[in-house]
């Protein structure tokens, strides 16, 4: 995206409510960059890379930037909090952009899905994910859309925390990147045709 277009989008995002805010959750810092628990960050980074934009820091809670998908203004955001307190980032974004909870799309890793699978949902429980539990607690509701990206199960006898904070093998990473590509396509369908259509196509 050209520099002038970036400037226009930034200006527009300050004056108009976005159609969607995408929050990828993960852990900040170089130690966690390539871990399974940071798949939500990988998703946002993919969009940022293709749009040639840089996310900017806001109050130590998020990094964000506006993009345009077709005619829709979308805010890309990554939490700067640790996963277990992702609710702080979600609460900040809801207040900053004055959006409904249904306009906050959370993207995160899920050990209950096979590697490379995605699931779109309009609402639901935390499913054992501490980041989602934190968001539900902060916004006092389970009624926000999310994209779950499968990183596979640690298996019997394997420490769950160590697994999600571990780096996937090369073949796993390839499947996860394919899932991220599908998830990005699902967002475009969600914006143009609605989340129900997107769920039917991609789940």
Q: Which of these, 113, 84, 106, 108, lies nearest to 172 by C-alpha position? A: 113
| DSSP secondary structure of 93-137 | HHHHHT--GGGEEEEEEETTS-TT-EEEESS---TT-HHHHHHHH
Query: Using CB atoms within 10 A of its CB, is residue 78 exposed (0-12), middle (13-18) or buried (19+)?
Result: buried
Taken in order 87, 88, 94, 97, the sign of the CA dihedral is negative
Pairing of strands 118-121, 146-150: antiparallel
Catalytic residues: 37
The residues, ordered by sequence, that sit 6+ positions from 110 with a Cβ below 8 Å of its Cβ are 119, 127, 129, 148, 149, 150, 151
């Amino acid at each position: 995206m050209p520099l002038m277009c970036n400037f226009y989008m930034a200006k527009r995002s300050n004056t108009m409510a976005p159609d969607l805010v995408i929050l990828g959750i993960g852990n900040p810092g170089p130690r966690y960059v390539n871990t399974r628990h940071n798949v939500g960050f990988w998703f946002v980074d993919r969009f940022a890379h293709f749009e040639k934009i840089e996310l900017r820091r806001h109050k130590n809670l998020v990094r964000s930037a506006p993009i345009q998908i077709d005619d829709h203004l979308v805010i890309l955001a990554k939490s700067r909090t640790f996963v277990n307190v992702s609710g702080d980032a979600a609460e900040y974004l809801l207040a900053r952009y004055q959006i409904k909870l249904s306009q906050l799309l959370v993207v995160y890793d899920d050990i209950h899905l096979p590697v490379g699978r995605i699931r779109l949902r309009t609402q639901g429980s935390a499913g054992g994910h501490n980041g989602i539990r934190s968001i539900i607690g902060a916004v006092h509701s389970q009624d926000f859309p999310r994209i779950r990206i499968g990183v596979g199960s640690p298996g019997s006898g394997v420490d769950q925390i160590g697994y999600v904070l571990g780096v996937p093998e090369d073949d796993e990473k390839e499947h996860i990147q394919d899932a991220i590509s599908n998830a990005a396509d699902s967002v475009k369908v969600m914006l143009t045709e609605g989340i129900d259509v997107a769920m039917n196509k991609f789940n």
